[in-house]
Structure 1
């Protein structure tokens, strides 16, 4: 943390960047004008001058978050590959910015937050030949998979240690003699690999194996 008086110039972007860091570390409720001033080594009056009151600051942070989350560029040669890339990028954004995403949600802007990803998905499902209801269903199915997977990942992170754990529950006998399956289920879960497997299977089913 910078000591007071160490900054010669303080701009609006400096204030917003510091506020974003505080929210990402501690959540929106921990963001106070006094705490932000201490973070920046500035007077509280200077913070008010640049961003207004706390509500105005939160509004500005939400707009900044929406702009950042809008940067999703599909990658890959085929539509299916590009849809998977959008899904993976959206998952990563949601996991990397939990407090900021929660702040957007609390202000009733969740649908707007997802709009850039939806538009990217619409373009790709159109490229794959889907139109109308089928295209809409494909876009929503991918979005729901992403959100559902993120929620499960977050819940697993917060869950207490399990006794007995999977490594104790899964034996070759429990897996009906399939030792490889038992060893896999007893091992640690790789969330990203599982997500990629899931979204690829979904997209193949939605767009067809040749898309």
Structure 2
């Protein structure tokens, strides 16, 4: 099997859109798409894949995954949210992403929350996650190799790949399911509104 370290290197796991790469001035949709394509093209599985398209952005807007734009221009805050959406959609449904980002969008629009700080924290955590992932993958590779060696089959290389794929997907599913449970425990927008109404009644 191809050296696992080389495969991980080909993933370009540290390829993230950084804050300093996001302009402070408003951008039109085509400019937003160009920034994401230029930065994240190495992360694509296939050359013909698109990092971001007009349809995707329009769907995010219709689904209220980010707060409304002004004068057809996207602010730096919008780019931060779109970058988070890009990462989250690898594991979560659009509805789950909406629930996850709903309060953050509200804090940005109502409280002028500095979303750049939370994005910086996310980038730091991503660096730690890459180190953790590299170590966990090495352990998984060694465990799979031990299992396959006991099978003593002539197709050991294929079986090693098969078990490693299944093991990695299993681990991915465990993380995804926990993330979904965390989403399920987030307060829904309607629940927040009901609580606000209840508090107003108590105060009156």
Q: TM (normalized to structure 1)?
A: 0.26
Larger radius of gyration: 1
Q: TM (normalized to structure 2)?
A: 0.26
